[in-house]
């Protein structure tokens, strides 16, 4: 719900040079934190970056200490750390001191519940202040933070909580029922802590967040961690199997800090908004650890996407740095230029995008309406930090992901790990050694090793090429992973959900190109005997997957088929389904089952 009275329009609308919408004007910018690329790229060593990080005695480290506690003694104690705007546009501000008190109380309370270093504590919350405090409180104790996207359904929750053997989940009243549905299947889950719980309705194992922290002390020292001990784990999708738990460590803070400084270009006076949910890696790293380690003021917006709400928020809080995603930008573009010009967005000085390819057209539109280029950058859950970026000190090439950051060696290689020639398509690979690289796949060494199957390289699963100026250009995934609206979805997850419905015998799932979402999920389905194809059945299957997995993971298109193409070993050939869908040549089909 929007509070109309808070809108400031008309008198403070955008200046004529932008309102006219014709000129391409670059606003005069501040000098970037990284002012020269080539020279720094040649000489930079990650050892240097350690100077910007505060270590605890004995070379120990805690990422939460760097993100929060050190700000209390370096002059930022009373600075606003968090501008939290709820779904009704109500604003609450938290200083670094207030945030520290909140995290310390929760940290002490968690400790009293028996949380020890290494235990997994998951956060399943909307973008409310408690989410941010909980993430840091868990990290302070040396426990492993497990972010969970608030739109996940029961099946998605069960898979993650079961695999990680989570001990505690922190949730709220609005989301708790989804955990209730699978609680019986989670033998390791000892407590569910509920923000805003009705005290009368608490069941065994459920605890009111407010009651829990009420009596707790606000003094808590961060646990001194070995830099290689786990900080957070995030589940991400691959081509096969259930989502895998990508494990990151406290040492990540070095990369989180430096990239927030160089790529986000955060400065003392910035008011910074990352639109990604902290249930995903962008939100965890670039709404919490990275920006706070740099002492920036962070905006958390609980409301849903709507063009007028977003612009209004930028205007209202005078947001200066804005990190968002191509899908959102495409939707904003669709909402029209006049929608931009109705607001005063002059505070903006730096705009960034991540998650999927950013169309050159959108970059050009950004120049027109915001007077600023949109800086695309590339990274993954596994890489833990931005690796390739259109840095503020470099010219933006619309359509390119940019150049590797200092300290990052990226290359386009063939299957043997040999670099291909400039301009040639190949696999995007990175030399291991950057601080935020994944350290493990939770209890799955085999999956972890798959990332390093090309000797000497971390393989990203993306195909790309490099131009003569050293800019990288994304081409597509090398595997079947679907990227829908910036969300990575594994076809297997969706297929597994679909076949749980009594009407479905088999399912094959692909990503289908879509102008707004990048890709949409399309499912091909064989029905069980006794079921016939109908629109209502298709809708039922869509609802079914939505409920089980998440809103973004349901197939927007379902086609009923008599057969699906399979290999002789019985694997569904998604490559062929995709070729059919796109009217492309089907290539070698010699291994097909019914050849």
* Residue ranges in contact with ligand AMP by CB under 6 A: 236, 281, 354-357, 376-378, 380-381, 401, 460-462, 474, 477, 483, 488
Residue 356 beta carbon to ligand AMP: minimum distance, rounded to whole angstroms: 5
Pairing of strands 482-484, 487-489: antiparallel
Distance CA 157, CA 146 (A): 11
For ligand AMP, give the closer residue by CB, 341 or 473.
473
Contact criterion met (CB below 8 Å) for 163 and 442:
yes
Contact criterion met (CB below 8 Å) for 79 and 297:
yes
Distance CA 572, CA 55 (A): 51
For ligand AMP, give the closer residue by CB, 295 or 402.
402
For ligand AMP, give the closer residue by CB, 488 or 501.
488
For ligand AMP, give the closer residue by CB, 357 or 508.
357
Q: In terms of Cα–Cα distance, which of 206, 203, 11, 230 is closest to 118?
A: 230
For ligand AMP, give the closer residue by CB, 110 or 352.
352
For ligand AMP, give the closer residue by CB, 122 or 235.
235
Residue 306 beta carbon to ligand AMP: minimum distance, rounded to whole angstroms: 24
Distance CA 76, CA 295 (A): 7
Residue 173 beta carbon to ligand AMP: minimum distance, rounded to whole angstroms: 29
Residue 399 beta carbon to ligand AMP: minimum distance, rounded to whole angstroms: 10
Residue 205 beta carbon to ligand AMP: minimum distance, rounded to whole angstroms: 32
Residue 413 CB coordination number (10 Å): 18
85: exposed, middle or buried (Cβ count in 10 Å: 0-12, 13-18, 19+): buried
Residue 424 beta carbon to ligand AMP: minimum distance, rounded to whole angstroms: 18
Residue 380 beta carbon to ligand AMP: minimum distance, rounded to whole angstroms: 4
462 token code pair: 């993306």
411 token code pair: 């290359």
Q: In terms of Cα–Cα distance, which of 122, 120, 110 is closest to 165?
A: 120
As a 3-state breakdown, the chain gives helix, strand, coil percent values, each rounded to 5, of: 30, 25, 45
For ligand AMP, give the closer residue by CB, 15 or 241.
241
Concatenated DSSP letters of 58-106: GGBB-HHHHHTGGGGTTT-TTSEEEEEE-TT--EEEEEHHHHHHHHHHH
For ligand AMP, give the closer residue by CB, 91 or 475.
475
- 3-state SS class at 257: helix
H or E element in which residue 331 lies? helix 326-335
Residue 426 beta carbon to ligand AMP: minimum distance, rounded to whole angstroms: 15
């Amino acid at each position: 719900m929007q509070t109309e009275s808070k809108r400031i329009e008309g008198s403070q609308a955008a200046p004529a040079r932008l309102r006219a919408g014709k000129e391409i004007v670059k606003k005069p910018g501040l000098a970037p934190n990284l002012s020269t690329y080539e020279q720094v790229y040649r000489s930079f060593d990650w050892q240097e970056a350690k100077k910007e990080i505060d270590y605890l005695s004995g070379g120990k480290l805690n990422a939460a200490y760097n993100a929060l506690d050190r700000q209390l003694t370096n002059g930022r104690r009373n600075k606003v750390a968090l501008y939290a705007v709820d779904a009704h546009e109500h604003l609450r501000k938290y200083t670094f001191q207030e945030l520290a008190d909140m995290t310390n109380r929760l940290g002490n309370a968690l400790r009293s519940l028996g949380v020890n270093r290494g235990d997994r504590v998951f956060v399943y919350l909307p973008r409310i202040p408690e989410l941010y405090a909980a993430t840091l409180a868990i990290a302070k104790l040396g426990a492993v933070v497990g972010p969970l996207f608030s739109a996940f359904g029961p099946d998605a929750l069960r898979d993650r909580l079961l695999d990680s053997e989570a001990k505690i989940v922190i949730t709220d009243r609005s989301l708790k029922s989804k955990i209730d549905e699978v609680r019986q299947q989670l033998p390791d889950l000892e407590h569910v802590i509920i923000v805003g719980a009705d005290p009368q309705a608490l069941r065994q194992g459920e605890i009111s967040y407010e009651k829990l922290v009420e009596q707790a002390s606000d003094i808590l020292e961060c646990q001194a961690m070995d830099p290689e001990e786990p900080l957070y784990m995030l589940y991400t999708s691959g081509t096969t199997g259930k989502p895998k738990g990508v494990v990151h460590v406290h040492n990540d803070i070095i990369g989180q800090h430096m990239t927030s400084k160089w790529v986000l270009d955060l400065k003392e006076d910035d008011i910074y908004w990352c639109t990604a949910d902290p249930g995903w890696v962008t939100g965890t790293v670039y709404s919490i650890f990275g920006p706070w380690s740099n002492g920036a003021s962070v905006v958390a917006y609980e409301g849903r996407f709507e063009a007028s709400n977003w612009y209004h928020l930028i205007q209202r809080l005078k947001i200066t740095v804005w990190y968002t995603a191509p899908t959102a930008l495409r939707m904003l573009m669709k909402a029209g230029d006049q929608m931009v010009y109705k607001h005063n967005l002059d505070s903006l000085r730096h705009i960034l995008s991540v998650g999927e390819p950013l169309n050159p057209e959108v970059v050009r539109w950004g120049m027109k309406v915001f007077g600023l280029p949109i800086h695309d950058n590339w990274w993954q859950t596994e890489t833990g930090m931005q690796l390739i970026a259109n840095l503020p000190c470099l010219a933006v090439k619309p359509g390119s992901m940019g150049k590797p950051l200092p300290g990052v060696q990226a290359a386009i290689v063939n299957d043997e790990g040999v670099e291909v020639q400039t301009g040639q398509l190949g696999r995007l690979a990175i030399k291991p050694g950057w601080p935020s690289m994944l350290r493990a796949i939770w209890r799955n060494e085999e999956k972890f090793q798959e990332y390093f199957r090309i000797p000497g390289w971390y393989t990203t699963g993306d195909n790309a090429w490099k131009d003569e100026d050293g800019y990288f250009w994304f081409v597509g995934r090398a595997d079947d992973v679907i990227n829908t609206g910036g969300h990575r979805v594994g076809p297997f997850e969706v297929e597994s959900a679909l076949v749980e419905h009594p009407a479905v015998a088999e399912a094959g799932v692909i990503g289908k190109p879509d102008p707004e979402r990048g890709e949409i999920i399309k499912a091909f389905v064989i029905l069980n005997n006794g079921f016939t194809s109908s629109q209502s059945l298709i809708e039922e299957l869509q609802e079914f997957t939505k409920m089980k997995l998440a809103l973004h993971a349901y197939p927007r298109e379902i086609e009923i088929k008599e057969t699906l193409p399979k290999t002789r070993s019985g694997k569904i050939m998604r490559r062929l389904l995709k070729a059919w869908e796109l009217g492309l040549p089907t290539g070698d089909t010699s291994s097909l089952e019914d050849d």
